Chains A and B, each alone.
Chain A
Amino acid sequence: MTETRIDRRFASLKSEGRPALVTFMTAGDPDPATTLALLKALPGAGADVIELGMPFSDPMADGPAIQAAGLRALKGGQTLVKTLDLVREFRKTDDATPIVLMGYYNPIYQHGSEAFVADAKAAGVDGLIIVDLPPEADDELCLPALEAGLNFIRLATPTTDDKRLPAVLANTSGFVYYVSINGITGSAAPDASRVAESVARIKRHTHLPVSVGFGVRTAEQAAAIGANADGVVVGSAIVSAVAASLDSEGRATPATVPAVLALVSDLAGGVRAARKSVAA
């Protein structure tokens, strides 16, 4: 498979000696213009990889914050096609920052897997994280995506034991997303030392970068987790910042974009400090 923006980004951060900050937000939350403004500003605020959530009516693996973000987006009329439009627009001004689409399978299945893969690639998407497609279902989307040159990023969890890990990693590319807790997004913070052990365990099975997410909210946590991981994913905290900035009708305000960027800058400081204490 040819090198993707994700591969290049993790390679360059490795030479910088720091983990990636991977930010998540839901496309169209609360409206497409806000998402586009955020997309354009996030790299400058320190986001290294951008995960864009494709809203789904039944987000079974998500906690209240991301559920609410998805409902806001759907209420605003967001669709899979409109999400691809946002990526296409973003690519006009940024050809370096990797974009990963994250979501559930049904909207893609309705669009048609082959058509989706082609449309996503053409729009400038680099990778996919589809929560409800385990390796047992690789023929549905994973294999066509790999063939088209998109990374297919798999979640590994504490329940993924050493026996199962090779199957999970077999068709994974770009990076491995280690879910640090058994739970839904936005749950309690993970224990950094246990996470370090788990990352080490996964790295015994793969050369891919390992990013860690679920429950990371603050710069301090990002620094602690990032000390032993190749990337730190922050999602619920960011969509919560969006939610807190909205007016009483749920619309974006002048405070929305600055609030998110302030949080991301802070988190970026965290990942940049991650290895310093270790080195010292």
Chain B
Amino acid sequence: MSSATEINEKLELARQLVIHLEAGDSAAADSTIERLSADRECTLFREIGRLTRDLHEAINGFLLDARIGELVEREIPDASERLNYVITMTEKAANTSLAAVETSLPLAQELGNRAGSLAGDWSRFQQRDLSVEEFRVLSSELAGFLQTARGHSAELHSKLSEVLMAQDFQDLTGQVIRQVIKLIRDVEDKLVRLIRISGSKVAPADHANTKPMGPVIPGLDQGEVVSGQDDVDDLLSSLGF
């Protein structure tokens, strides 16, 4: 805002300009116009100068931010490695669990089958429906079964313990993923600053062509998502399945 004296000065210059023009003195008129505009340009240059300095400092500050170098050179490649480690760990845990289950299922099956067959013979024995010879066979089968049951139970216990221990991946991978989330936040912060410096609005990206495949993450992925197998079945039956 111009102060009262500035306005008076300008008014005085304007009056002089009229006088010079009326007198036909074009040289004096030009010099008055220059004096009038000089003041204005001065303010404009000052403003441009200030903006330039701000921009320069902001860019310098951004470039000198040691975190960025660190982020690009070390932490992002490091994060990729860490995420690969998460894949390795989860895969290993899944394979350990699956192997234990694959060993355990036939053991449980065998116990069930033999117990079922023995239960039949045993109830015949209780109904006194067994010959001495049959009882001798049953007795030896029973002894064998008890031996097997003992062994299988120990084996099942050890396999279940393996499954239990394999779950430790959750803790470790959880920590790694948390570190990577923090890194992404850091990068996001730097990018936001960069956008602020450039001062321009970033046009929203076209999401249609970049839609990620894979599991839908609740609360993140948009679009019509079915809420479970029942929804899938309803949708398919509405399509004539």
Q: Are A and B interaction partners?
A: no
User: Which residues of A are interface residues toward B (Cβ below 8 A)?
Assistant: none
